[in-house]
Chain A
Amino acid sequence: DIQMTQSPSSLSASVGDRVTITCQASQDISNYLNWYQQKPGKAPKLLIYDASNLETGVPSRFSGSGSGTDFTFTISSLQPEDIATYYCQQYDNLPLNTFGQGTKLEIK
C-alpha cells in the first residue's frame, strides 16, 4: 500500500503570507497526486490535479509542484477565505487511492 505523509498537520499564518504544505509518498507515484480543500461541514473540493494543474475556476494563488515522491502545495498570498483543511490524494493505482493526513490552516 502507498502511504502519504503530509506536513505540517496544522499551520497558522497571516493574511498575505506565502503558505507551503508538503506531501511525501512512500513510493514513486509519478504525478498522480491531487490536492483538495475542505471547509468545515462541507465536502472536499478539488484544487490541483496531476500535481501541478489548476482546476478550472480555482484562484491562481493556489499552485502545486513535484513528481515522484515529493510534492508541494502553495498559496502565494493567503486570503481569509482560504481557511480550511487541505488534503493530498494519490491515485497511482486507480481506483485505489490514499489521502494525506490533512493540514489545518488558520489565520494568525
Chain B
Amino acid sequence: QLQLQESGPGLVKPSETLSLTCTVSGGSISSSSYYWGWIRQPPGKGLEWIGSIYYSGSTYYNPSLKSRVTISVDTSKNQFSLKLSSVTAADTAVYYCAVAIAAAGTIDYWGQGTLVTVSS
C-alpha cells in the first residue's frame, strides 16, 4: 500500500518557481507498475492533471502547462518532484501527488494535498 506525502513552501511569489516534493513509502519509485504524477485543484474548482513521470524517466505533461512544468525523480530518496515556473495567482491551488496504475489507468493513491498560494 503506497503512501504519499507532499512537502514544500505554502507561499510563492509571482514570477517565481513553485517547487514541491512527494515522498513515497510502502513501495519503490523505481517500480514499472506506476506513473508518478501531480494533480492540482484551485480553491472551489475542479481537478487538473499537471503531469506524470515513469520509472524510465519519461515525462508527460498537460499541454496547457508543458512550457512551465518539470517533473523529476530522486531514486535515492524515493521521491519525485514538481517545478512550476513563472507562477501567477492562477496557480494558487491544492497540489496533490498522485499515483496511477500503469496497467489500469486508475489513480489509486493520493497524497493529502498541500495548498500553495501565489502572492507577493
Q: Which residues of A contact B (CB under 8 A)?
A: 1, 32, 34, 36, 38, 43-44, 46, 49-50, 55, 87, 89, 91, 94-102
Complex CA gap A12/B17 in Å reads 41
Query: Within the complex, what minimum Cβ distance (angstroms) separates A59 from chain B?
Result: 18
Q: Among residues 1 to 54 in chain B, which have CB atoms less than 8 Å away from a CB atom of chain A?
A: 35, 37, 46-49, 52, 54
Asked whether A95 lies within 8 Å of B48 as measured between CB atoms, the reply is: no
Count the B residues whose beta carbon is within 8 Å of the partner chain — how many? Answer: 24
Complex CA gap A97/B98 in Å reads 13
Most buried by A among B49, B96, B102: B49
Q: Mark B103-114, 1 if CB is under 8 A from A, else 0.
A: 011111011110
Q: A1-B63, A43-B110, A101-B46 are in contact. Are A49 and B104 (CB under 8 A)?
A: yes
A44 in complex: contacting residue of B35, B37, B47, CB < 8 Å: B47
Complex CA gap A38/B108 in Å reads 13
Complex CA gap A70/B108 in Å reads 23
Asked whether B107 lies within 8 Å of A89 as measured between CB atoms, the reply is: yes
Closest chain B residue, CB of each to CB of A97: B49
